[in-house]
Structure formats: structure tokens, C-alpha cells
């Protein structure tokens, strides 16, 4: 925890304390705690089934925790529904992108702004996002289902951003994309971080995620195995061994 | 086929198809958002018909107001059944929702039987509904033309709402992927309530024309239109509003063709033949004519 340094005197924008989440009788998260401070890019890494997506879904209100606490912007939000959390300033870009394929790109973006929809502000935002996501301008009136995987990911992120979230949750944004599109996504995440957006990034591609993150949590079978400064983790933890399930083989200095 | 028969056939198909399209649209609106196969939909129609009966019989309100209040009764019953019954089971299995809809249906039927009467009551119909008018040499009651006009108007309004308003886009997003729509801030309560309100509204409009055709209302009158709705939905497809409308019209076309072509001794078997066609659809094209966006999920 030495790495948080200057952040320790502030309250985190998101606090997760001792979270237990299960699917039926199977516990996917067993006592997970984490903090995210404003302006940070925090990454959660780990293998499939480690509970990475589960923790995001619990934070965003899709899954109800069995026990534990989630505090967002100084309010206990454990068990609140997704639309409440969205209104409070959280946006989840879901795994697999989940673009509305029967809706046009324009309509997908408009749904992203639902609840805060205001045509003038929407138009301003669009102008801004067209710089960030030029492809969306070209495809504006096409239906979401006709976009390529990379384009859908850009749309999914834009759809998340358009509500001006205080916390952006990205669930496996590079999954299933070609290497060049993966580069695009990571480049974009860096740009968003430079804009001061607070991001919680769940990624299977740990090396890439740790390279751009401030801090990171390494998950293994529903618990936090390591956490700390992303660069330290990248240098000092034998990530492959964590991925192979060999916790004991990992060395942290 | 002489012109006269052709015109008559067309008017029959259009007026019957319009009514059937509105019926199935009311079912599909709720199914599309909540995945509920709503067996209580027939009782929404019955409730509106009773409202028409009471207002038309015991008040001297102008017809326009009677219709507006009659349709409002359908809207109220639709909205309240969601609030009181379906909401408690939201996110449960589809079976639980199906059983809930049976329960709502039976409770409403028994309520009508116990509080009003088990026997049929005559629903007053405005005289102009039955005025004959001549269309291309064919004499037909005005209500046949009115239902066609009403349906064109309603379908246009619904299409515009669904296409351009934020609420309409939210409804479409929720029917494609409910969880993701909620993650975008679309409130589950809002879209589900709206779906039931629209369903109740359509049931109310259907009640006006259905009771005008039969002339009466009784507690179990909801079953025939419900059956019509299900047949239209099987033909057109459960996952698309367009499919619901097409299903309604295709049903009307098939039904009228059978009436014209079946030998007179076979006419009483028209419904049986219709059901064979429906079974063929279920076997050969279970997703219906319009596939829509089919996915399996329940709402949470």
C-alpha cells in the first residue's frame, strides 16, 4: 500500500470493502476490498474466473453482493440498482461491448445519455467525441450491429463516456479484437486518463494494462492476490505464475 | 373473382386485420420488454368493455368521452396489474411470470363475475358505428372503416414515438438487451410500466371495436381476442412489433381466404383449419415471419 502516497489523505471515490458475491452457491468473490481515487487509472488483472468481471458487475449494480460494502462518492450504494448508479455518475462499458445492434450508432449514443439527455449538450458532446472516435462520425446513421468489433468497442466506450461519468468501468475492452485494434483501445484509455477521467479497467491482458495503469489489483480465485503500484507489480510479480494459479511461486519484493 | 367480391374481401381483410394487429401488438409490447406471455391481456380488454358498458348505459356522456374513459380503464388495469402483481416477480423465472399472468387473468375474471354479473351485458354502440356506407359499390358498416383509420393512425403515432423519442429509443434498447439498457440509466420501472400502459391502451381500443362487433360484454369475453392475439403472434413473430402487425393481417387474410374457399359444409371447420396452419407455423417457422432480435434472458 506504500504506493498510494499522496492519495492517502483523500477519500476514495470508490471503496469496496470485504465484498462477497456468488452465483447460486458458488462464491465468485470472497472478501474483496479495493479503493479508487479521483483521476486514477486502476487495473484489475487475473485469469478467467478470478472474479474480475464479477467485481465490476457488483460495483455497477448488476449483481447483488451477499455481504460487504460498496461506497461511491461518499454514499453506501451496496445493492442499489444499475440505473441509480448510472445516475449517480458511474458508467460500465460491459464485456463483449453489448452494443444495441438494432439501434443506430446515433441511437446507441443517445441511450448512453439517457437520464441526462439534453439535445444541445448532446450535440456538443458529439462534436467532442467525433474527434476522439472519428469512426463514429462516419458510421453515425448505421445500425450498431453492422460495425466491426473494434468499431463496436469504440462505440461502447463513447456510449459510456457520453453520460460524463465520475467513474468509468471498462470490462475487458481489448477482448476479441485484432492486435491493431487492441493498440487503439489502449491508446484511447491513455487519452481518457490524460483528460482526468477516473477509470477502473478490468483486463486479461495484464502486461498491457499494468503498463498504463497507476495502480493494480491482481485477482486470483475471487480474492485479491497482490495490489500496489502498477509498475512495481509489472516488474516484481511473476504474472505468468499467478495466471497459472501458482500463488506460491510469485515473488513480490 | 368479380370486383365486388374483391372489394368486399379487401375491406374484410383490412378491418379484421387492423383489429387483430392491434390485439397482437398489445401482447408483443409487453413480451418484447418483459418476456411475459401475458394471459391476462384478454381481461384488459374485458375491463375496458365493462367500462364502455357502464358509461354507455348509465351516463349521458358524449361518445368521445365514453371512448376515452373506456380506453383509460384498460390503461389503468394494465398499469395496476404490473404494479400489484408482475412487479413482485420481476427477475424470476419465465414460468413464474407466466403463472402470475394466469393468476391476474383468473382474479380479474372472478372479480367481474362476482361484482358485475356472470351473464352477458349489452354494450351500447354509437349509432354511427352501424351506418352503412358504400365503398366501390360495396356496402359496409362505418365501424369497419373506422377501425382501419384508427389503426393506421395509431401505428403511425407508435412508429414515430418508437423511432424518434428518447423514450421510444429506450424501449427498443430495453427490448434488445434489458440489463445493458439499465446500465445506461434506462429505469426498469419506467420502461416496464410504459409497456403495460401501451398494452392496456391497445386493449382499450380493441374493446371499443370488439364489443361493437359482438354487442355484448361478459366476464370470459377476453378469451377469443387473446386467442386471436396468440395466433397472430405465432404467425408474425413474438420478437418484433412489425411482426405483430404483419401477423395480425396475415391471420385476417388466411381467415378470409378460408371463408371464401371452403365448401359450405366445411365452413364450421374454418377454425380447425386455421389451427392446422398455426401448428404448421410452430413446426416449420417457430420464430414467425419476422425474426426480430431474439435472445434468451430474464430481467433482474
| The pLDDT value given to residue A8 | 53
Could you identify the residue written with the cell 467525441? A129
> Grid coordinates representing A212?
498504463
Q: Is A110 on the interface with B (CB under 8 A)?
A: yes
How is chain B split into domains, by residue range?
20-218
Phi, psi of A91 (to 5 degrees): -135, 125
Residue A248 pLDDT greater than 50, yes or no: no
Using DSSP bridges, classify how beta strands A14-23 and A26-36 pair: parallel, antiparallel or unpaired. antiparallel
Quote the domain boundaries for residue A30.
12-98+151-243
Q: What is the residue-wise DSSP string for chain A?
A: -GGGGGGTTSPPSEEEEEEEEEETTEEEEEEEEEEE-TT-EEEEE--TTSSHHHHHHHHHTSS--SEEEEEETTEE-TT--HHHHHHHTEEEE-TT----TTSBHHHHHHHHTTTS--HHHHHHHHHHHHHH-HHHHHTTTSBGGGS-HHHHHHHHHHHHHTT--SEEEEESTTTT--HHHHHHHHHHHHHHHHTT--EEEEES-HHHHHHH-SEEEEEETTEEEEEEEHHHHHHHS-HHHHHTT-GGG----
Beta-carbon separation of B183 and A82 below 8 A = yes
Chain A residue with minimal CA distance to B182? A83
Q: Contact A110/A117 with Cβ under 8 angstroms?
A: yes
The answer to whether the Cβ–Cβ distance between B180 and A101 falls below 8 Å is no
**Position A244 pLDDT exceeds 70:** no
User: In chain B, which residue's Cα lies nearest the Cα of A92?
Assistant: B183
**Domain total for chain A?**
1
A111 vs B170, B179, B293: nearest CB? B170
Q: Cβ of A116 and B170 within 8 Å? A: no
A144 vs B: CB within 8 A: no
Identify the closest residue of chain B to A163 by CA–CA distance. Answer: B184
Check B182 against A82: CB less than 8 A apart: yes
Q: What gap in Å lies between CA A41 and CA A168, rounded to an integer?
A: 10
Question: What is the pLDDT averaged over residues A10-29?
Answer: 92
Q: Which of A245-249, B110-114, B151-155, B199-203 has the lowest mean pLDDT?
A: A245-249
Q: What is the pLDDT of residue A18?
A: 96
Give the span between the Cα atoms of A71 and A78, in whole angstroms: 7
Question: What is the pairing mode between strands A75-76 and A67-72?
Answer: antiparallel
Contact list, B300 vs chain A (CB under 8 Å): 62
Cα separation, A192 vs A137, whole angstroms: 19
- Confidence label for B110 from pLDDT (cuts 50, 70 and 90): very high
Pick from B181, B184, B293: which is nearest to A102 by CB? B293
- Average pLDDT of chain A is 88
pLDDT tens per residue across span B42-72: 999 999 999 999 999 999 999 999 999 999 9
Query: Rounded to an integer, what is the distance from CA B279 to the centroid of its chain?
Result: 21
| pLDDT cut 70: percent of chain A above it | 90
- What chain B residue is nearest to A115 in terms of C-alpha separation? B185
State whether residue A81 sits within 8 Å of chain B by CB: yes
Lowest mean pLDDT among A230-244, B83-97, B150-164: A230-244
Which residue among B179, B185, B293 sits closest to A114, beta carbon to beta carbon? B185
What pLDDT does residue B264 have?
85
> Is the interface score ipTM higher than 0.90?
no
Give the per-residue pLDDT at A249: 40
Q: What are the pLDDT digits (tens) for A175-202?
A: 989 999 999 999 999 999 999 999 999 9
Predicted confidence (pLDDT) per residue in B26-46, tens digit? 999 999 898 899 999 999 999
Half-sphere exposure of A250 (CA within 13 A, CB side): 22
Any domain includes A109: no
Closest Cα partner for A186 from A217, A226, A213, A215? A213
Model confidence pLDDT, tens digit, residues B155-209: 999 999 999 999 999 999 999 999 999 999 999 999 999 999 999 999 999 999 9
Cβ contacts (< 8 Å) between B297 and chain A: which residues?
A: none
DSSP one-letter string for chain B: --HHHHHHHHHHHHHHHHHHHHHHHHHHHHHHHH----TTHHHHHHHHHHHHHHHHHH----HHHHHHHHHHHHHHHHHHHHHHTGGGGTTS-HHHHHHHHHHHHHHHHHHHHHHT-SS-EEPP--HHHH-EEEETTEEEEHHHHHHHHHHHHHHHHHHHHHHHSHHHHHHHHHHH-HHHHHHTT--HHHHHHHHHHHHHHHHHHHHHHHHHHH-EE-TTTTHHHHHHHHHHHHHH-TT-HHHHHHHHHHHHHHHHHHHHHS-GGGGGGHHHHHHHHHHHHHHH-TT-SS----------
- For the purposes of burial, counting CB atoms within 10 Å of the CB of A93, is it exposed (0-12), middle (13-18) or buried (19 or more)? buried
| Whether the predicted pLDDT of A4 surpasses 60 | no
CA–CA separation, B27 vs B233, rounded Å?
8
CB pair distance less than 8 Å for B184 and A116: no
Query: Phi and psi (nearest 5°) for B241?
Result: -65, -40
- What mean pLDDT do residues A227-233 have? 89
What are the CA-CA distances from residue A78 to residues A74, A82, B15, B237 (Å)?
12, 11, 53, 39
Chain A residues within an 8 Å CB radius of B192:
none
- Residue B148 predicted with pLDDT over 60: yes
pLDDT tens digits along A104-162: 999 999 999 887 767 778 888 888 888 888 888 889 999 999 999 999 999 999 999 99
How near does any CA of chain A get to the CA of B170, in Å? Answer: 6
Any B CB within 8 A of A140 CB: no
Rounded CA-CA distance A113/A120 in Å is: 12
How much is the pLDDT for B296? Answer: 44
**pTM for this entry:** 0.89
Position A55 in a domain: yes
Shortest CB distance from A111 goes to which of B169, B187, B293? B169
Among B173, B182, B300, the residue with its CB nearest the CB of A100 is B173
Between A18-27, B21-30, B201-210, B289-298, the lowest mean confidence (pLDDT) is in B289-298
- A88 close contact with B: CB closer than 8 A: no
Contacting residues of A for B179, CB less than 8 Å apart: 62, 82
What is each CA distance from B125 to A129, A156, A219, B62, B133, in whole angstroms?
A: 58, 54, 70, 12, 17
CATH number at residue A46: 3.40.50.300
Flag whether pLDDT at B225 surpasses 90. yes
Task: Indicate if the pLDDT at residue B295 is higher than 60.
Answer: no
Chain A, nearest residue to B190 by Cα: A83
Does pLDDT of A251 surpass 90? no
Tell me which residues of chain A, numbers 192 to 231, contact chain B at a CB-CB cutoff of 8 Å: none
Categorize the per-residue pLDDT at A240 as very low, low, confident or very high, splitting at 50, 70 and 90: low
User: B185's torsion region: left (phi>0), alpha (psi -120 to 50) or beta?
Assistant: left
Residues sharing a CB contact under 8 Å with residue B239, sequence separation 6 or more, in sequence order: B28, B31, B32, B287, B288, B290, B291, B292, B293, B294
pLDDT number for residue B265: 85
CB contact under 8 A, A94 and B169: no
Which of A83, A86, A155, A170 to substitute to test the interface with B, most B CBs within 10 Å? Answer: A83
**Cβ contacts of B186 on chain A, cutoff 8 Å:** 83, 111, 114-115
Name every residue in B having a CB less than 8 A away from some CB of A. 166, 169-170, 172-173, 176-177, 179-188, 293, 300
pLDDT of amino acid B294: 53
Q: Is residue A112 part of a domain?
A: no
Amino acid at each position: 500500500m506504500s504506493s498510494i502516497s499522496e492519495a492517502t489523505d483523500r477519500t476514495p471515490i470508490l471503496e469496496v470493502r470485504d465484498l462477497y458475491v456468488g452465483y447460486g452457491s458458488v462464491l465468485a468473490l470472497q472478501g474483496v476490498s479495493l479503493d479508487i481515487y479521483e483521476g486514477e487509472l486502476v487495473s484489475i488483472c487475473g485469469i478467467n474466473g478470478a472474479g474480475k468481471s464479477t467485481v465490476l458487475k457488483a460495483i455497477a449494480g448488476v449483481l447483488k453482493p451477499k455481504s460487504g460494502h460498496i461506497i461511491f462518492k461518499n454514499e453506501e450504494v451496496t445493492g442499489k440498482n444499475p440505473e441509480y448508479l448510472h445516475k449517480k455518475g458511474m458508467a460500465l462499458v460491459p464485456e463483449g461491448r453489448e452494443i444495441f445492434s438494432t439501434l443506430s450508432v446515433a441511437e446507441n449514443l443517445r441511450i448512453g445519455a439517457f437520464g441526462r439527455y439534453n439535445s444541445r449538450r448532446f450535440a456538443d458532446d458529439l462534436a467532442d467525441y467525433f474527434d476522439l472516435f472519428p469512426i463514429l462520425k462516419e458510421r453515425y446513421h448505421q445500425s450498431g450491429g453492422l460495425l466491426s468489433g473494434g468499431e463496436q468497442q469504440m462505440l461502447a466506450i463513447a456510449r459510456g463516456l457520453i453520460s460524463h461519468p465520475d467513474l468509468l468501468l471498462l470490462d475487458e475492452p481489448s477482448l476479441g479484437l485484432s492486435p491493431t485494434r487492441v493498440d487503439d483501445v489502449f491508446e484511447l484509455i491513455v487519452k481518457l486518463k490524460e483528460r482526468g477521467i477516473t477509470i477502473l479497467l478490468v483486463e486479461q491482458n495484464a502486461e498491457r494494462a499494468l503498463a498504463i495503469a497507476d495502480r493494480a489489483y491482481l485477482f486470483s480465485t475471487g480474492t485479491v492476490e497482490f495490489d500496489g503500484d502498477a509498475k512495481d507489480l509489472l516488474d516484481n510479480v511473476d504474472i505468468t505464475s499467478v495466471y497459472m494459479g501458482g500463488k506460491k511461486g510469485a515473488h513480490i519484493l | 373473382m368479380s370486383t365486388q367480391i374483391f372489394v368486399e374481401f379487401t375491406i374484410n381483410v383490412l378491418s379484421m386485420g387492423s383489429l387483430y394487429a392491434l390485439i397482437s401488438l398489445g401482447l408483443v409490447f409487453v413480451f418484447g420488454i418483459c418476456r411475459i406471455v401475458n394471459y391476462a391481456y384478454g381481461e384488459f380488454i374485458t375491463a375496458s368493455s365493462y367500462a364502455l358498458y357502464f358509461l354507455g348505459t348509465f351516463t349521458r356522456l358524449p361518445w368521445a368521452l365514453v371512448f376515452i374513459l373506456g380506453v383509460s380503464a384498460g390503461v389503468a388495469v394494465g398499469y395496476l396489474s404490473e404494479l400489484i402483481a408482475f412487479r413482485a416477480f420481476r427477475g424470476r423465472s419465465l414460468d413464474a411470470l407466466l403463472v402470475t399472468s394466469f393468476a391476474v387473468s383468473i382474479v380479474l375474471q372472478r372479480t367481474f363475475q362476482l361484482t358485475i354479473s356472470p351473464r352477458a351485458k349489452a354494450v351500447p354502440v354509437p349509432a354511427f358505428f352501424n351506418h352503412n356506407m358504400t365503398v366501390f359499390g360495396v356496402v359496409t358498416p362505418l365501424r369497419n372503416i373506422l377501425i382501419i383509420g384508427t389503426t393506421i393512425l395509431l401505428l403511425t403515432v407508435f412508429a414515430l414515438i418508437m423511432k424518434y423519442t428518447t423514450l421510444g429509443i429506450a424501449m427498443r434498447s430495453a427490448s434488445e438487451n434489458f440489463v445493458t439498457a439499465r446500465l445506461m440509466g434506462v429505469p426498469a420501472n419506467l420502461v416496464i410500466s410504459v409497456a403495460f400502459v401501451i398494452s392496456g391502451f391497445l386493449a382499450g381500443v380493441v374493446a371499443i371495436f370488439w364489443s361493437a362487433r359482438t354487442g355484448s360484454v361478459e366476464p370470459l369475453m377476453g378469451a377469443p381476442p387473446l386467442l386471436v392475439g396468440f395466433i397472430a403472434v405465432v404467425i408474425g413473430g413474438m420478437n418484433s412489433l412489425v411482426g405483430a402487425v404483419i401477423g395480425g393481417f396475415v391471420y385476417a387474410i388466411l381467415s378470409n381466404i378460408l371463408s371464401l374457399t371452403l365448401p359450405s359444409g366445411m365452413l364450421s371447420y374454418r377454425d380447425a383449419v386455421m389451427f392446422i396452419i398455426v401448428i404448421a407455423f410452430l413446426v416449420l417457422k417457430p420464430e414467425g415471419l419476422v425474426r426480430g432480435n431474439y435472445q434468451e434472458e430474464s430481467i433482474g
